[in-house]
């Protein structure tokens, strides 16, 4: 098998290249045996794999399985975001008279924290293990077909997810449906593909328990974090209030700068003229 980084010959079962130290993703020996090159179709690659080494070419993940993994990962990320955001908002913003005032500092801190959580969860897990929690539960894995490093390929793949996700993943689904290797824009740019993987029972149980733990933890922690009094110790810089969320007797409002959106909670009383 050839190392995808330095192109030297290594053992098929190697997990890292002894020459350059590069990470060898699981399934690389199958891609190498299949002779995966640009312009080849899945049928020709499968035939080449059988004739060259007697191995089966990796089975491409179904779009439905990939969507299910995305939903599970979104649930996990939502739980992590909820706990982190609640903690930041209650310490860097203020809550007074049924009105939550979000400062520029709190919004910036939330944006940076969520980006860090997203990067660690998606990029680091895919680069090191080839799969996130959702992918382990469903039974699919990301493998590299190009020469990029594991971390850079995972970063490019997930950054372009925001383009593929336009229109509830309409763009990603169209591109993947037209690609012979079911690659969305992120996969095409990063040099990756998603294949089926038979994870062990222990791995799937651990991933399921982690998902449930994050959801239960968020459901338990967020109300308790919000019940605490705001520290009101945000720094003097970036302390301008940007967003206000609150309610009055009959309406709830959401203000961003000078824009205000009101939601009627109770119908206005109807008055009748005396006859």
Decide: pTM greater than 0.85: no
pLDDT (0 to 100) of residue 228: 77
> pLDDT tens per residue, the chain (275 residues)?
777 655 667 777 776 666 544 557 666 666 666 555 444 444 444 444 444 444 445 689 999 999 999 999 999 999 999 999 999 988 887 777 667 778 888 899 999 999 999 999 999 999 999 999 999 999 999 999 888 899 999 999 999 999 999 988 899 999 998 998 899 999 999 999 999 998 999 999 999 999 999 999 999 999 998 887 655 555 555 567 778 788 777 788 778 877 888 887 766 555 555 54
**Cβ contact 92:108 at 8 Å:** no
pLDDT (0 to 100) of residue 152: 94
3 state SS of 243:
strand
**Cβ contact 122:112 at 8 Å:** no
Residue 205: its H or E element: helix 201-227
207: tokens are: 């991933």
152: tokens are: 């850079």
Total Cβ atoms within 10 A of residue 266 = 8
pLDDT (0 to 100) of residue 45: 44
Q: How far apart are CA 261 and CA 246, in angstroms?
A: 11
Residue 74 CA neighbour count, 13 Å, CB half: 9
Beta strand 259-264 pairing with 251-256: antiparallel
Q: How far apart are CA 115 and CA 155, in angstroms?
A: 12
Distances, alpha carbon 171 to alpha carbons 88, 142, 158, 183, in Å: 34, 20, 15, 11
Q: Is 55 left (phi over 0), alpha (psi -120 to 50) or beta?
A: beta
Q: How far apart are CA 73 and CA 135, in angstroms?
A: 8
**Cβ contact 251:260 at 8 Å:** no
Name 47's Cβ contacts closer than 8 Å, sequence gap at least 6.
Answer: none
pLDDT (0 to 100) of residue 100: 75
């Amino acid at each position: 098998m050839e190392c995808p980084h330095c192109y030297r010959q290594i053992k098929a079962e190697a997990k890292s290249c002894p020459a350059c130290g590069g990470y060898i993703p699981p399934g690389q020996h199958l891609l190498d045996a299949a002779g995966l090159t640009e312009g080849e179709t899945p049928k020709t690659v499968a035939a080449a794999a059988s004739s060259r080494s007697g191995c089966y070419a990796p089975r491409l993940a179904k779009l439905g399985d990939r969507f299910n993994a995305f939903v599970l990962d979104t649930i996990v990320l939502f739980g992590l975001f909820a706990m982190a955001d609640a903690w930041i908002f209650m310490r860097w913003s203020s809550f007074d008279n049924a009105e939550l005032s979000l400062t520029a500092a709190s919004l910036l801190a939330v944006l940076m924290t969520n980006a860090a959580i997203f990067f660690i969860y998606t990029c680091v897990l895919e680069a090191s293990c080839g799969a996130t929690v959702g992918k382990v539960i469903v039974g699919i894995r990301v493998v590299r077909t190009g020469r990029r490093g594991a971390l850079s390929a995972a970063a490019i793949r997930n950054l372009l997810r925001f383009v593929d996700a336009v229109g509830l993943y309409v763009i990603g689904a169209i591109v993947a449906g037209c690609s012979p290797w079911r690659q969305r824009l992120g996969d095409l740019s990063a040099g990756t593909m998603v294949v089926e993987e038979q994870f062990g029972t222990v791995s799937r149980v651990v991933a399921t328990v982690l998902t449930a733990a994050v959801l239960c933890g968020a459901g338990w922690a967020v109300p308790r974090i919000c019940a605490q009094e705001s520290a009101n110790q945000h720094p003097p810089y970036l302390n301008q209030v940007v967003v206000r969320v609150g309610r009055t007797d009959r309406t709830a409002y959401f203000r961003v700068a000078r824009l205000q959106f009101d939601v009627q909670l109770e119908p206005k009383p109807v008055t009748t003229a005396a006859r």
